[in-house]
Structure 1
Amino acid sequence: MADALVSIQILPRTPNGESVIPYVDRAIEIIQASGVRYVVGPLETTMEGDFSELLEIVKAMNDEMIRLGAPSVLSQVKISYNPTDGASIDRLIAKYRT
Protein backbone atom coordinates (compact mmCIF):
# COMPACT_ATOMS: atom_id res chain seq x y z
CA MET A 1 0.00 0.00 0.00
CA ALA A 2 1.26 3.44 -0.92
CA ASP A 3 1.75 5.70 2.09
CA ALA A 4 2.50 8.98 0.30
CA LEU A 5 1.69 11.27 -2.57
CA VAL A 6 4.42 13.63 -3.71
CA SER A 7 3.74 16.33 -6.29
CA ILE A 8 6.64 18.11 -7.90
CA GLN A 9 7.06 21.05 -10.21
CA ILE A 10 10.69 21.15 -11.28
CA LEU A 11 12.07 24.38 -12.70
CA PRO A 12 15.70 24.15 -13.75
CA ARG A 13 17.51 27.35 -14.62
CA THR A 14 18.78 26.63 -18.10
CA PRO A 15 22.37 27.53 -18.99
CA ASN A 16 21.55 29.85 -21.90
CA GLY A 17 17.92 30.74 -21.23
CA GLU A 18 16.60 27.99 -23.49
CA SER A 19 13.28 26.24 -22.92
CA VAL A 20 12.94 24.10 -19.82
CA ILE A 21 10.66 21.62 -21.61
CA PRO A 22 13.43 19.14 -22.58
CA TYR A 23 14.61 19.21 -18.96
CA VAL A 24 11.10 18.63 -17.63
CA ASP A 25 10.62 15.80 -20.14
CA ARG A 26 13.80 14.18 -18.79
CA ALA A 27 12.57 14.59 -15.20
CA ILE A 28 9.32 12.82 -16.11
CA GLU A 29 11.35 10.04 -17.76
CA ILE A 30 13.03 9.48 -14.39
CA ILE A 31 9.62 9.07 -12.77
CA GLN A 32 8.52 6.69 -15.54
CA ALA A 33 11.66 4.57 -15.14
CA SER A 34 11.09 4.28 -11.39
CA GLY A 35 7.91 2.27 -11.86
CA VAL A 36 5.83 4.27 -9.37
CA ARG A 37 2.32 5.32 -10.23
CA TYR A 38 2.14 8.94 -11.39
CA VAL A 39 -0.11 11.48 -13.06
CA VAL A 40 1.28 14.32 -15.16
CA GLY A 41 -0.67 17.55 -14.78
CA PRO A 42 -0.25 20.85 -16.57
CA LEU A 43 1.86 22.41 -13.79
CA GLU A 44 3.11 19.48 -11.70
CA THR A 45 3.42 15.71 -11.62
CA THR A 46 2.03 13.66 -8.74
CA MET A 47 3.60 10.36 -7.72
CA GLU A 48 2.10 7.67 -5.47
CA GLY A 49 4.15 5.21 -3.48
CA ASP A 50 6.51 4.65 -0.59
CA PHE A 51 7.48 7.97 1.00
CA SER A 52 11.22 7.25 1.10
CA GLU A 53 11.26 6.01 -2.50
CA LEU A 54 9.40 9.09 -3.73
CA LEU A 55 11.90 11.39 -2.03
CA GLU A 56 14.74 9.48 -3.70
CA ILE A 57 13.06 10.08 -7.06
CA VAL A 58 12.83 13.81 -6.29
CA LYS A 59 16.55 13.82 -5.51
CA ALA A 60 17.36 11.90 -8.70
CA MET A 61 15.36 14.40 -10.75
CA ASN A 62 17.22 17.35 -9.27
CA ASP A 63 20.60 15.65 -9.68
CA GLU A 64 19.81 14.96 -13.34
CA MET A 65 18.96 18.60 -14.01
CA ILE A 66 22.42 19.58 -12.76
CA ARG A 67 24.03 16.78 -14.77
CA LEU A 68 22.28 18.11 -17.89
CA GLY A 69 23.89 21.51 -17.34
CA ALA A 70 21.37 23.50 -15.32
CA PRO A 71 23.36 25.65 -12.88
CA SER A 72 20.51 25.50 -10.34
CA VAL A 73 17.07 23.98 -9.86
CA LEU A 74 13.94 25.15 -8.07
CA SER A 75 11.63 22.30 -7.09
CA GLN A 76 8.24 22.96 -5.58
CA VAL A 77 7.19 19.83 -3.73
CA LYS A 78 3.92 18.94 -2.01
CA ILE A 79 3.72 15.90 0.23
CA SER A 80 0.77 13.97 1.60
CA TYR A 81 2.03 11.31 4.00
CA ASN A 82 -0.40 8.88 5.63
CA PRO A 83 1.30 5.72 6.93
CA THR A 84 -1.84 4.61 8.79
CA ASP A 85 -4.49 4.72 6.06
CA GLY A 86 -2.32 4.98 2.97
CA ALA A 87 -2.38 7.54 0.19
CA SER A 88 -4.13 7.26 -3.13
CA ILE A 89 -4.44 9.54 -6.13
CA ASP A 90 -7.70 7.82 -7.06
CA ARG A 91 -9.19 8.25 -3.60
CA LEU A 92 -8.44 11.98 -3.61
CA ILE A 93 -9.93 12.71 -7.00
CA ALA A 94 -12.69 10.07 -7.28
CA LYS A 95 -15.54 12.49 -6.62
CA TYR A 96 -14.37 14.69 -9.51
CA ARG A 97 -14.34 11.93 -12.11
CA THR A 98 -17.43 11.41 -14.21
Structure 2
Amino acid sequence: MKHQVHIAIQIVPITDKPHYPIIDKAIEVIDKSGVSYKVGAMETVMQGDYDVLMRVAKEAQQACLDAGADEVAVTMKVHARKNGIVTWDEKGIDRGSK
Protein backbone atom coordinates (compact mmCIF):
# COMPACT_ATOMS: atom_id res chain seq x y z
CA MET A 1 0.00 0.00 0.00
CA LYS A 2 1.48 3.27 -1.09
CA HIS A 3 -1.14 5.67 0.24
CA GLN A 4 -1.90 7.06 3.65
CA VAL A 5 -3.97 4.64 5.71
CA HIS A 6 -5.52 4.36 9.14
CA ILE A 7 -4.50 1.50 11.39
CA ALA A 8 -6.38 0.89 14.63
CA ILE A 9 -4.51 -1.10 17.25
CA GLN A 10 -5.63 -2.54 20.55
CA ILE A 11 -2.96 -4.20 22.70
CA VAL A 12 -4.16 -6.21 25.68
CA PRO A 13 -1.34 -7.21 28.04
CA ILE A 14 -1.66 -10.68 29.54
CA THR A 15 -0.08 -10.51 32.96
CA ASP A 16 -0.90 -10.43 36.65
CA LYS A 17 0.46 -6.86 36.81
CA PRO A 18 -1.70 -3.72 36.43
CA HIS A 19 -2.55 -3.27 32.73
CA TYR A 20 -2.77 0.50 32.27
CA PRO A 21 0.90 1.31 32.96
CA ILE A 22 1.86 -1.34 30.39
CA ILE A 23 -0.60 0.02 27.81
CA ASP A 24 0.79 3.51 28.45
CA LYS A 25 4.19 2.25 27.26
CA ALA A 26 2.65 1.35 23.89
CA ILE A 27 1.11 4.82 23.61
CA GLU A 28 4.49 6.38 24.46
CA VAL A 29 6.04 4.49 21.53
CA ILE A 30 3.32 5.74 19.20
CA ASP A 31 3.72 9.30 20.47
CA LYS A 32 7.51 9.29 20.10
CA SER A 33 7.23 7.87 16.55
CA GLY A 34 5.87 11.18 15.26
CA VAL A 35 2.88 9.62 13.47
CA SER A 36 -0.53 11.22 13.74
CA TYR A 37 -2.77 9.30 16.16
CA LYS A 38 -5.95 9.39 18.24
CA VAL A 39 -6.31 7.52 21.52
CA GLY A 40 -9.76 6.10 22.18
CA ALA A 41 -11.28 4.15 25.04
CA MET A 42 -10.72 0.78 23.35
CA GLU A 43 -8.05 1.34 20.68
CA THR A 44 -5.61 3.83 19.24
CA VAL A 45 -5.90 4.84 15.59
CA MET A 46 -2.80 5.93 13.68
CA GLN A 47 -2.68 7.74 10.33
CA GLY A 48 0.20 7.51 7.87
CA ASP A 49 2.21 5.27 5.59
CA TYR A 50 1.25 1.59 5.97
CA ASP A 51 4.81 0.28 6.42
CA VAL A 52 5.68 2.99 8.95
CA LEU A 53 2.53 2.31 10.97
CA MET A 54 3.16 -1.43 10.98
CA ARG A 55 6.68 -0.81 12.28
CA VAL A 56 5.27 1.41 15.04
CA ALA A 57 2.67 -1.25 15.89
CA LYS A 58 5.42 -3.86 16.24
CA GLU A 59 7.46 -1.54 18.47
CA ALA A 60 4.40 -0.81 20.62
CA GLN A 61 3.82 -4.52 21.17
CA GLN A 62 7.45 -5.02 22.14
CA ALA A 63 7.23 -2.09 24.57
CA CYS A 64 4.39 -3.87 26.38
CA LEU A 65 6.42 -7.07 26.63
CA ASP A 66 9.44 -5.10 27.84
CA ALA A 67 7.23 -3.37 30.44
CA GLY A 68 6.26 -6.68 32.04
CA ALA A 69 3.50 -8.31 30.00
CA ASP A 70 3.99 -12.06 29.71
CA GLU A 71 2.01 -12.03 26.48
CA VAL A 72 0.01 -9.55 24.41
CA ALA A 73 -3.23 -10.06 22.52
CA VAL A 74 -3.30 -7.60 19.62
CA THR A 75 -6.20 -6.60 17.41
CA MET A 76 -5.54 -4.39 14.38
CA LYS A 77 -7.81 -2.94 11.73
CA VAL A 78 -6.65 -1.27 8.51
CA HIS A 79 -8.58 1.25 6.43
CA ALA A 80 -6.89 1.67 3.04
CA ARG A 81 -7.92 2.85 -0.42
CA LYS A 82 -6.76 1.63 -3.78
CA ASN A 83 -6.49 5.12 -5.29
CA GLY A 84 -6.30 7.65 -2.52
CA ILE A 85 -5.55 8.53 1.04
CA VAL A 86 -7.57 8.05 4.22
CA THR A 87 -7.86 11.15 6.42
CA TRP A 88 -9.21 12.23 9.79
CA ASP A 89 -11.19 15.04 8.14
CA GLU A 90 -13.39 12.78 6.05
CA LYS A 91 -14.37 10.87 9.19
CA GLY A 92 -15.18 14.01 11.13
CA ILE A 93 -12.50 13.25 13.69
CA ASP A 94 -11.27 16.47 15.21
CA ARG A 95 -10.78 15.50 18.82
CA GLY A 96 -8.04 13.51 20.44
CA SER A 97 -4.33 13.32 20.61
CA LYS A 98 -1.77 14.24 18.01
TM-score by length of 1: 0.85
Unaligned runs of 5+ in 1: none
Q: How does 1:31-42 map to 2 (within 5 A)?
A: 31-42=30-41
CA shift for structure 1 position 22 = 0.3
Identity rate of aligned residues, in percent? Answer: 32
Unaligned runs of 5+ in 2: none
Larger Rg: 1
Q: How does 1:12-23 map to 2 (within 5 A)?
A: 12-14=13-15, 17-23=16-22
Tell me, in whole angstroms, the C-alpha distance in 1 between the residues paired with 2:83 and 2:30: 25
User: Once the two structures are superposed, what CA deviation does each residue of 1:55-90 show, in whole Å capped at 9, x if it has no partner?
Assistant: 001100111112222111001111011252101122
TM-score by length of 2: 0.85
Tell me, in whole angstroms, the C-alpha distance in 1 between the residues paired with 2:54 and 2:14: 21
Q: How does 1:1-98 map to 2 (within 5 A)?
A: 3-14=4-15, 17-93=16-92
